[in-house]
Structure 1
Amino acid sequence: MALERYAGPGCLVEYMQGNQAQVAWVLEESSGRLRLYTLTRREEKMALSRVLPWMGPRYDGAKDRSEILEILAAHQARREAAARAIAPLELWELAQGEVREESAVWFAGLVGENPDVDAVAAMGRALLACKTHFKFHPPKFEVFPAELVERRLVEAALAEEREKVVVAGQAFFKELWQGWLSGDRKKAQGLAARLDPEAARRLAELLRRLMADAEDPEAATLWAMLRKGLPEHPLQPYILATQWGIVPPHYNYLLDQADYAPGDDWWLPFSAEVEARKAGLAALCREPEPIAFVSVDSPTTRDIDDAFYAEALEEGGIRLILALADPALDWDFGGPLDTAVAARATSLYLPEGVSHMLPEALGTGLYSLLAGQVRPALVMAWDFDAAGEILGFAMRKSFVRLAENSTYAAVEAALDGPDVAAHLALGHRLAVTLRRKRLERGAVIIERPEPDIVLTGYPDNVQVAMGLCPAYPRSQLMVSEFMILGNTAAAQYAVGHGAAMLFRTQDAALPPEVRGVHDDPPSIQRVVRELPPTLTEPDPRPHATLAAPAYAPVTSPLRRYADLVNLAQLECLLRTGAPRWSRGELEARLPELSARIEAVGRVQRFRPRYWKLLYLQRTCRERTFEGVVVDLGGGGFVSLALPDLQMYVRATRDTLGDAVYIGQRYALRLGKIDPLTNELRVFGAEEIPARLPEGAEAYFMDAGGAS
């Protein structure tokens, strides 16, 4: 049997359909169009261009349909059997590197001499099926080079694996979703047990990747196939992962998005360096200064990075001495541990637990200013006259031993007592003066209650309780004013020595009405709206809100990496007379550091809100919540503050009644609360009667709703 060159009546041809070669009998040919009879007993019309380049044999004489079917079936069987006997990979080994492309006839000649039409067609079929090694460019087959074959084999394996995962995952994800909608978590484990272990691993890995990055380009294709038939939801991967049980209830996916490891296991790969820090500090340790420093923090604070002592001077003056924890003394900047700490950027203080920036062995142990323990410190000392003017300032590297780790509550109680310790009384007096002088320079101070979120039974049976943190105004005033003083002094010292720092700046002229103390929600909202953002930059500029000519944070080096960098600058200035880093070097570090601070800061901002919304969701049917109008806004909506929760919500004017003015208070009925999607709505409001403040802006609604 010879290959035909013309597909006339009686000739056998092949064409591709459904990714398979189909044999057919030519009934008629006219101007490049064929009418075919196929094994399926159907006639097909087809362009000659669709026919594969091996044609024949041709049968002369008239044949009825049954005879044609017998002939087609016989050739089909021979070709299928011959194709199964061909080893296309062996042919590829022979051909690759020798030829770029060749015909099916040429390849058939490698297997046997004088191949007939069935042998050539079988070869064509075998090569067409081996898409990883050959590509059909009619009338020849391209022979892929070895490197391309390797890549295509990997791609094919991935595609096959992906198909398995999709087949297993689509139904599984639908069942999980239905279980979540119905509140049934019990069936998830049974469903998961039926999954292929490798498919389960891939599906779990995919959900984790999507929780960390919803726009992950590598996961997008597989996720699009798996979620077919599911409704849209912005946190669908998180919901499926929680329903499955691969993450616990109330899982903090924000940590995944920030690439921030919670807890205190993240540093274990750097344990040798942690031990080196301990040994290095032990070698540098010396006798501490004989000053009875006292720290003031909340009772749960373990990373104590500042303490003070105050003593009287002649003529009503005060000497204030600050001790700041000094992890920079023996820190290996640029080392593996430093790189990991820089990526953490800051400690996280969340209702479900604290995650420290430093390994706890260092941040709450080796460097923390624990009472009775000798610790390295940067010591700052000021002499003030009776009016609060600075008479002198000095700074030194030193070692200290704190006399006491006190608390806000204890110091507040001591200040109320008849026999208050002199250093506390002097400290409070100085803090009052420092605050007054900042206000005279145009400072802005916002005072608002701090919500206290208490979790029990976390994570499986979590209960959320809300209250307000106790206020200790005098002891908290001392700490805040001394920290502002220390950071301002650090900036001025660096400027005076020509050293760059990571300055916090807010270079703006604030209007008079913004300056001062603000403690009611409308005033706070107005001020916050007016305040420009603060920046971190290597050049000293004013910080308007704090009324500081320059401001460089150094007082929290155990909790914030920028403070650690600034502390190292001062430490090096004191030791060598020159800064550790130039302005250009600090500027080069800023983009990455700022990005990490923003990513981790997002967790600190949004995670407490999740718990507040969960609390509201569980209690909104039982009670109302006080809201205060802070912005009359536009578009028919009014903004209200929830002071006890430090949250904001919007309500329609129709919901609030006929008269709405800034400062008006309402008992709000809240609903449609979703902690995951950050949804919170006002369903009803009852006005809490109050006299309309003089000069308040009011809106009176007529029956038609026009203002």
Structure 2
Amino acid sequence: MNVFYEEEGTFKVATVLADNTTSLQVEAPHGKRAKIKAASVLLRFEAPSPSEFMDLAQKMAEDLDPNFLWECCEREAEFASDALAADYFGHTAKSEEAAAVLIRLHSAPIYFYKKGRGRYKAAPSKALEAALAGQEKKRLQVEQQARYVQLLSAFTLPEEFRPLLRNLLYRPDKNTVEWKALDTVCAATKLSVPALLEKCGAIPSTHDYHVNRFLLEHFPEGIGFGVPDAGGELRDPSDLPLAEVVAFSIDDATTTEIDDAFSVTPLTLGSFRIGIHIAGPTLGIPPGSLLDMEAAQRLSTVYLPGSKITMLPEAVIHHYTLGEERLCPALSMYIDVADDFTVMGTNSRIERVRIAANLRHDALEEHFNEYTLAAGSLDHPFGKALLALWKFACKMEAVRGKSNDGNNEKIDYSFHVEDDRVTISERRRGSPIDKVVSELMIYVNTEWGKQLADGGIAGIYRSQGGGKVRMSTSPAPHQGLGVSQYAWISSPMRRYVDFINQRQLVALLRKETPPYTRDSDSLQISMRDFEAAYEIYGDFQRRMERYWCLRWLLQENISITGAQVLKENLVKLDRLPLVARITSLPEMPPETTIEVEISQIDLLELTFHARFLRKLDA
């Protein structure tokens, strides 16, 4: 005697060795013996042999149309498989015929729902229709995925991918056919998704690839402003007094948000009055206005080589920037200094300032540098004022105890991108121009921060202790700068923290109730959000500077270059703010000059390989 039985959802056949009523000892066609429950048996048969029986049943099952069986079976109630087999074959079904029907019913779960051993129920027509549609959709998706894989393997981009590229690159849905095809080909080719898509011609610009990733994450609605007429929103006070000074700014050639300008007015007995004039956008942008909310959302201007995303709309920047030959609303601090440049007193006011000139680094440095200062005479229309500012800056640096802090040994890098070519220039930090601007900014931010604190008005301060910089609403020493308190106020068009602090300062100078208290939620939220955004924007700027460094190496066809050991196996390449780890670097002391080979530059991953060649003579 042989049996056809079900075990763990699988149909099997075996020869009965012993029948114990509730259980059977059986032997499978391949010789394995087992004990099965009698209730598991669906059919008993004498012939043919178990292996022949299974072959016959499988072949017959393949010829059975599940749709026809569904048409033939009882629709509303459960039915037994052997009853359906009798109806189908027109006679009491043979064992192999009954087994074939069972196998077919079991293999078509969308047509037939299993209700028990050998018992089924037909799927409702609507459910069957939906299931068949899903099955067909899945079949088409499998075919589509296979076609995608074939095209991608040949580095050809399927047309259907084009409108989906942004999501595939930055926010993939891993359940889609397109992603599954990409993933399959990436695994086979050992390429990353961006690298594969680049090979398929889907990333025409590696620069845009990095920028678009940043924009999608942090500017999902685009970089345009929601204020249709930004210039028309401004409400500057009409009664501001006119400052009787000749003011000028000092900025990089690409700067459009000119926040600060300076003036020097001679007084009696060799003393001076130095003016530090800061643009006043808060004078015309009230709290809670559309422009204010836009600035509060962006929090800072985003800088990257060759471009920037401004915190304020262009029309607002144009209105408040301290542009040449313009009369601009400003907050001014006047510092009276003795002939030895000791500070005798300060005075702050809100006024209009006429800007006589916008001096630019590249043109000014020819006239204002270490050599012209050593000669004691600056051949420049603002030479006397610049010389006075330089002496004042040196005095303030000494007061802070920072005259010999080594900053003038460091190098700053400027990136200029034009027509997709990059120029990277070096400037030694601590040049006369840098020192004048930085010292005057440190002074005004320190002094105005003190005035806010002394006036009991909340502000956002930066402090440093133990090497860690933090922001808070309470003044605290900044060890790195050597000052008792420090508040960012000098860049209100570029940083929202400065914008907030300027608002508080305006209230102090006007003797009005300030917009923010130390415990106000808006102040705390703005400070927290600014810290997060400023770090993100800074990381993005550094990432794009790294990108342009690699582009410069390719542009200049540089494969061998000098480098300097920083520590252990970390080196800095010559002429670039670019560092690399060289695992093969022999042990050498810091500042050792070496020669390295550059290869395998990847503009998508922003990686490259550096190999040590030799040590260079000092």
Match of 1:681 in 2: 610
8 Å contact kept, 2:559–2:597: no
Match of 1:516 in 2: none
Structure 1 residues 423 and 206: alpha-carbon distance in aligned structure 2, compared to 1, 3 A threshold: same
Amino acid at match of 1:497: G
Match of 1:527 in 2: none
Match of 2:513 in 1: 577
Structure 1 residues 394 and 617: alpha-carbon distance in aligned structure 2, compared to 1, 3 A threshold: same
The more displaced of 76-85 and 369-378 is: 76-85
8 Å contact kept, 1:382–1:391: yes
8 Å contact kept, 2:227–2:290: no
Matches within 5 A, 1:79-158: 80-85=66-71, 125=106, 128-129=109-110
The more displaced of 552-561 and 606-615 is: 606-615
Match of 1:439 in 2: 401
Which residue among 384, 389, 399 is the counterpart of 1:427?
Answer: 389
Match of 1:693 in 2: none
- The TM-score, its normalising length taken from structure 1, stands at 0.67
Structure 1 residues 161 and 419: alpha-carbon distance in aligned structure 2, compared to 1, 3 A threshold: same
Match of 1:394 in 2: 347
How many positions carry a matched residue from both structures?
583
SS of 2:616's equivalent?
Answer: strand
- Aligned equivalents of 1:665, 1:580: Cα separation in 2: 53
Quote how far apart the aligned CAs of 1:301 are: 1.6
Quote how far apart the aligned CAs of 1:624 are: 3.8
Match of 2:597 in 1: 670
Match of 1:229 in 2: 188
Match of 2:256 in 1: 302
Match of 1:511 in 2: none
SS of 2:552's equivalent?
Answer: helix
- Aligned equivalents of 2:122, 2:482: Cα separation in 1: 75
Match of 1:592 in 2: 529
8 Å contact kept, 1:34–1:45: yes
Q: Does 1:489 align with 2:447?
A: yes
Q: Does 1:355 align with 2:292?
A: no
The more displaced of 117-126 and 480-489 is: 117-126
Quote how far apart the aligned CAs of 1:587 are: 3.3
Quote how far apart the aligned CAs of 1:444 are: 6.4
SS of 1:375's equivalent?
Answer: strand
Structure 1 residues 621 and 256: alpha-carbon distance in aligned structure 2, compared to 1, 3 A threshold: closer
Which residue among 468, 473, 482 is the counterpart of 1:533?
Answer: 468
- Aligned equivalents of 2:248, 2:589: Cα separation in 1: 47
Matches within 5 A, 1:625-664: 625=562, 627-631=563-567, 633=568, 637=569, 639-642=570-573, 644-649=575-580, 661-664=589-592
1:125-150 Cα distance to aligned partner (Å, 9 max, x none) = 5872269xx79897999999xxx99x
The more displaced of 546-555 and 440-449 is: 440-449
- Aligned equivalents of 2:564, 2:577: Cα separation in 1: 11
Match of 1:615 in 2: 552
- Aligned equivalents of 2:608, 2:70: Cα separation in 1: 62
Match of 2:330 in 1: 377
- Aligned equivalents of 1:43, 1:550: Cα separation in 2: 89
Which residue among 135, 150, 154 is the counterpart of 1:175?
Answer: 154
8 Å contact kept, 2:79–2:121: no
Q: Percent identity?
A: 20
- Aligned equivalents of 1:367, 1:661: Cα separation in 2: 51
Match of 2:371 in 1: none
1:163-193 Cα distance to aligned partner (Å, 9 max, x none) = 56643444444433xxxxxxxxxxxxxx22x
- The TM-score, its normalising length taken from structure 2, stands at 0.75
- Aligned equivalents of 1:162, 1:340: Cα separation in 2: 44
8 Å contact kept, 2:58–2:103: no
Match of 1:519 in 2: none
SS of 2:257's equivalent?
Answer: coil
SS of 2:536's equivalent?
Answer: helix
Quote how far apart the aligned CAs of 1:372 are: 3.4
- Aligned equivalents of 1:165, 1:573: Cα separation in 2: 68
Amino acid at match of 1:613: L
8 Å contact kept, 1:553–1:562: yes
Quote how far apart the aligned CAs of 1:259 are: 4.1
- Aligned equivalents of 1:326, 1:397: Cα separation in 2: 9
Quote how far apart the aligned CAs of 1:383 are: 2.0
Matches within 5 A, 1:271-350: 271-272=227-228, 275=229, 277-282=230-235, 284-286=237-239, 289-290=242-243, 291-331=245-285, 338=292, 341-350=295-304
Structure 1 residues 397 and 647: alpha-carbon distance in aligned structure 2, compared to 1, 3 A threshold: same
Q: Does 1:250 align with 2:206?
A: yes
Amino acid at match of 1:645: L
Structure 1 residues 128 and 560: alpha-carbon distance in aligned structure 2, compared to 1, 3 A threshold: same
Match of 1:699 in 2: none
Structure 1 residues 105 and 14: alpha-carbon distance in aligned structure 2, compared to 1, 3 A threshold: farther
The answer for unaligned runs of 5 or more in structure 2 is: 369-377
Which residue among 503, 512, 528 is the counterpart of 1:568?
Answer: 503
- Aligned equivalents of 1:448, 1:325: Cα separation in 2: 30
- Aligned equivalents of 1:305, 1:494: Cα separation in 2: 20
Q: Does 1:403 align with 2:356?
A: yes
Matches within 5 A, 1:31-50: 31-32=23-24
8 Å contact kept, 1:569–1:580: yes
The more displaced of 431-440 and 153-162 is: 153-162
- Aligned equivalents of 1:495, 1:154: Cα separation in 2: 71
Amino acid at match of 2:187: K
Amino acid at match of 2:431: P
Quote how far apart the aligned CAs of 1:451 are: 3.1
- Aligned equivalents of 2:133, 2:237: Cα separation in 1: 56
- Aligned equivalents of 1:152, 1:292: Cα separation in 2: 82
The answer for unaligned runs of 5 or more in structure 1 is: 1-7, 95-101, 177-190, 211-215, 509-531, 690-707
Amino acid at match of 2:257: D
8 Å contact kept, 1:254–1:603: no
8 Å contact kept, 1:80–1:122: no
Matches within 5 A, 1:158-173: 166-173=145-152
